[in-house]
Amino acid sequence: MAASAVPSRGFGFALLIGVALGWGLNWPAMKLIVGEVPPWQFRAVTGAAGAVLLLGLARVLRQPLAVPREQWLPLVAASLLNVTSWFVLIAYGVKLMASGHASILGFTMPIWAAVIGMAALGERMSTRRFVSLAMGIAGVVVLLSHDFAALGASPLGALITLVGAFNWAIGVHIQKRVKWAVEPLVLAGWQVALGTLPIVVIALFAEPFVYHRASWPVIGATIYLVTYALAFCYYAWFNVVRIFPTHISAIGSLLVPIVGVASSSLFLGEPFGWREIAALVLVVGAVALVMIQPPERPAAAAAPAGNAPAGAAARGE
């Protein structure tokens, strides 16, 4: 298959802004949905629809959907961590706490990825990583410093969200160690499809179907999440990774929790005081330290676009 032409940088910047808005606004949308729809059912419906759209878009772009047999095992492992765990834990986290707070805690993933790299893979503890870890921990402490009421009904929401971010970090490490033989969009589609499958099975037996009774705002938020935050933003993000070096595309992803906190305050009336601002500055700064690396020397090999954390984004969905 011939490689498609790389879009212009101007188009890339427009896509980058679209991704930041799409994934950032996704957090209050999730909060709205889980107020009426059980988390398992919410994720089953949106995940299944998102997988169909992603794989359908890949077919429209004439990208082969076949995955080599030897890559199915790491694909399933990555799907369970990047999608199943993230989808379910973040849905419960958003249900139990303010969506703006959840977006900050969920975006600690790159920090945990750096910690896993040092603890399990023998990567060295550089000054940059040490400062990043300290800032990230400080941001979480500041966010939790008010009292349990600031987190929702209990501190369980914060713990669940952090576990989701940590599991996602493990999934990213698994994904980055495979030289995938499929296009990134196809990889994302298969991950969402495989990761959603156990959620669908559990939702069918665990929860009565209520989506048909959901209010129109919830239906609208669901359509937005599937079409924009999932299908469009995945497609746009993979184009952004193709157009820009990693350290530039990472800057755009830092906008996601900022948009998440601001939109949650604007649309849901969630708190946006000094604690939220301080936590946001600390966590975004910490993530910037581990994600935005200085440009490599010309002799160094550039990382392939397919090795960028799929949906990393912070993956706000």
For residue range 123-134, list pLDDT tens digits in order: 676 787 788 778
Q: What percent of the chain is modeled with pLDDT above 90?
A: 35
CA atoms within 13 A on the CB side of 16: 22
Whether 140 is covered by a domain: the verdict is yes
Burial of 173 (0-12, 13-18, 19+ CB in 10 A): middle
Task: Count up the domains in the chain and report the number.
Answer: 1
Q: What is the pLDDT of residue 314?
A: 46
Asked whether residue 247 carries a pLDDT value surpassing 80, the answer given is: no
The residue range of the domain holding 110 is 10-294
CA distance 314 to 24: 9
Average pLDDT (257-267) is: 85
Whether 180 is covered by a domain: the verdict is yes
State phi, psi for 266 to the nearest 5 degrees. -70, -45
Encoded amino acid at 268, one letter: L
Whether 136 is covered by a domain: the verdict is yes
Q: Is the entire prediction scored with pTM above 0.75?
A: yes
DSSP state at residue 294: P
Average pLDDT (18-33) is: 90
Average pLDDT (35-44) is: 94
Whether 301 is covered by a domain: the verdict is no
Q: What is the pLDDT of residue 39?
A: 93
Whether 311 is covered by a domain: the verdict is no
Whether 257 is covered by a domain: the verdict is yes
* DSSP per residue, 247-279: HHHHHHHTHHHHHHHHHHHHHH----SHHHHHH
Whether 212 is covered by a domain: the verdict is yes
Q: Which stretch, 87-91, 104-108, 233-237, has highest mean pLDDT?
A: 87-91
Lowest mean pLDDT of 11-20, 137-146, 243-252, name the range. Answer: 243-252
Evaluate the CA torsion angle 185, 186, 191, 192 in order and state its sign. Answer: positive
Whether 173 is covered by a domain: the verdict is yes
6 to each of 127, 228, 243, how far by Cα in Å? 36, 22, 6
304 to each of 52, 74, 246, 307, how far by Cα in Å? 26, 18, 10, 6
Q: What is the pLDDT of residue 190?
A: 95
Torsion, CA 79, CA 84, CA 87, CA 88, rounded to 10 = -170
Q: What is the mean pLDDT of the chain?
A: 81
